[in-house]
């Protein structure tokens, strides 16, 4: 099932992506454990932004939150996985995943998800500042790696 879902998301136009996201949300209602186990595969086969866009497909406002409630368990799982990936990338010296490149910014359409990620930063005070610092650091490392790879080829 995970392979079918990840292939359904990758390379689709906006309208077809919405269908794939709805498929995942419906599958979560029937079998939450399998979908939760597939989140990382969905992110790596498609894009990390697929994870929070999937939560938005049934309608969220710009910064307030859900218009039609999405399962809190799925939203929590997505935010936990995404924040863990950002923090893991920050601690490592190796290749940076696409999570930082796709991380939502403050004040963007996905501000609500950026707020969820900031809430999961390890620093108790000034979580927004910590979130911005982690994402900026990772994006800079990613760009530096891409430039080095381009120069050596």
SS3 sequence of 85-129: HHHHHHHCCCCCCCHHHHCCCCCCCCHHHHHHHHHCCCCCCCHHH
Q: How confident is the model at residue 81 (pLDDT cuts 50, 70, 90)?
A: very high
pTM, rounded to two decimals: 0.78
Q: How confident is the model at residue 1 (pLDDT cuts 50, 70, 90)?
A: low
- Res. 96: pLDDT tops 60: yes
Helices (H), 12-98: 14-30, 32-45, 49-56, 72-91
Domain count, the chain: 1
Which range marks the domain in which residue 20 is found? Answer: 2-152
Residue among 109, 4, 118, 133 nearest 49 (CA):
109
Treating both helix axes as pointing N-terminal to C-terminal, what angle do 49-56 and 111-119 enclose, rounded to 10 degrees?
A: 120
Weakest mean pLDDT among 74-78, 93-97, 120-124, 132-136? 93-97
In the prediction, which pLDDT does 82 show?
96
Element containing residue 7 per DSSP (H, E):
helix 2-9
Who has greater pLDDT, 150 or 124?
124
**What span, in angstroms and rounded, lies between the C-alpha atoms of 3 and 126?**
39
What percent of the chain has pLDDT above 90?
A: 39
- Give the tens place of pLDDT for each residue, 9-59: 555 555 677 788 888 888 999 999 999 999 999 898 888 999 998 888 765
């Amino acid at each position: 099932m995970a392979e079918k879902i990840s292939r359904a998301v990758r390379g689709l136009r906006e309208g077809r992506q919405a269908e794939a996201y709805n498929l995942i949300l419906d599958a979560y209602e029937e079998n939450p454990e399998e979908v939760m186990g597939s989140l990382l595969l969905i992110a790596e086969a498609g894009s990390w932004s697929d994870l929070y866009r999937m939560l938005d497909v049934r309608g969220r406002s710009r910064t307030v939150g859900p218009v039609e409630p999405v399962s809190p368990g799925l939203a929590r799982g997505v935010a936990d996985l995404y924040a863990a990936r950002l923090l893991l990338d920050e601690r490592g010296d190796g290749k940076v995943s696409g999570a930082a490149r796709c991380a939502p910014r403050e004040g963007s359409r996905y501000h609500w998800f950026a707020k969820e990620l900031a809430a999961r930063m390890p620093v108790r005070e000034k979580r927004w500042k910590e979130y911005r610092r982690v994402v900026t650091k990772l994006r800079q490392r990613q760009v530096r790696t891409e430039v080095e790879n381009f120069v050596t080829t």
